[in-house]
Amino acid sequence: MQSSSVKTESTPVHANVSQVAFLSVQDLLDLMTKVGIESFIKGLAKSIETDFKRWSLFDKSPRFAAHSPGGVIELMPTSDGHNFSFKYVNGHPKNTQKGLQTVTAFGVLADVDSGYPLLLSEMTVLTALRTGATSALMASYLAPANSQCMALIGNGAQSEFQAFSFRTLLGVNTLRLYDVDPMASQKCCANLIHHGFDVTICSSAEEAIQGADIITTCTADKCNATILTSDMIKDGVYINAIGGDCPGKTELDKALLLRADVFVEFEEQTRIEGDIQQLSHEFSVTEMHKVMNEQANGRTSGSQLTIFDGVGFAVEDFSALRYVYQLMKQHMPTKELELIATPENPRDLFSLFCANNTMRKAG
């Protein structure tokens, strides 16, 4: 991993009790323009890696999920004892038929000592960035050395962020695209060619994986699908499987998983939501914080078949919120929201109502 000029160590940040910083969608886009998307991704990946290396400090639990026939709404909380964060995020695959996005999100970073929020941030774009940065970070430990070509199966809203992250961190510039919706592949191709990627649109998943060192699956449908079967995949490749992220939603053939060395973020959550939900609990997986802390092996040979069964975990959102909070203080004036009541006497909250009535009568 290359280091970023942005401060990403685990120094706690504390609350300004009067106001809460706010990062809008436009603010994040402006911040990325000022920093540059490659530098932003490098700094974000470094922040995630730093937090994975201090994994034992974090509160960890499977996320809360409210499922409905059309999708899921989730809350993803965690704390390192100094700061607390949570993300609200949904996943509704049929939203695009109504002109809406499949995934939307916002998040909060707070000060544990006071309980006061520090930052309210958009996280629709930030989640896409942190998912891409996480995928490429894991690949830096698990993918074949000097990987050149990636198959990208599922070309929706996440696909370009995967492409930029893998090029930024691993130098992968050659992409083979496939989606059941040809318009999605054409959209992705047009966006990426504009930024210098070598892109081929393929007519099937089988065609897309030909010659690929890395295979990323990021499909959206909330169903048990089989995007990749064992007979399709040769030894030695790396599969970045990030589309299976809730109960009843998978992408990989069970036989393929049984052939591979499988790596996860937080095993307890991935057993519920990841592709390994198909397997018995006796099937052994490795949590990535152990690989990063050299407590377990990642890729050990060129012939090894490795799979990252990524479902997204709250620590990654914590890292992203902490990263942008520090970054925005360096590069842009802070917008603040009056989100917290601040009576002169903290034990007299009702005084705000009285003062407001007095001001209205005087006006």
How many C-beta atoms surround the C-beta of residue 305 within 10 A? 18
Say how far apart CA 3 and CA 58 lie, in whole Å: 23
- 3-class DSSP state of 201: strand
- 3-class DSSP state of 252: strand
- The sheet that has 214-217: what strands, in order across it? 198-201, 174-178, 149-153, 214-217, 238-241, 306-309, 261-264, 286-287
Catalytic residue among 179, 245, 309, 317, which?
A: 245
Buried b (16+ CB within 10 A) or exposed e, 168-201: bbbebbbbbbbbeeeebbebbbebbeeeebebbb
Name the phi and psi angles at 111, rounded to 5: -95, 120
Nearest to 265 by CA among 214, 219, 307, 218: 307
The pair of structure tokens assigned to 360 is 């209205």
The pair of structure tokens assigned to 16 is 């300004």
Q: Please check whether residue 197 is in contact with residue 203, taking contact to mean a CB–CB distance below 8 angstroms.
A: no
348 annotated active-site: no
Say how far apart CA 142 and CA 263 lie, in whole Å: 9
- Catalytically annotated residues: 245
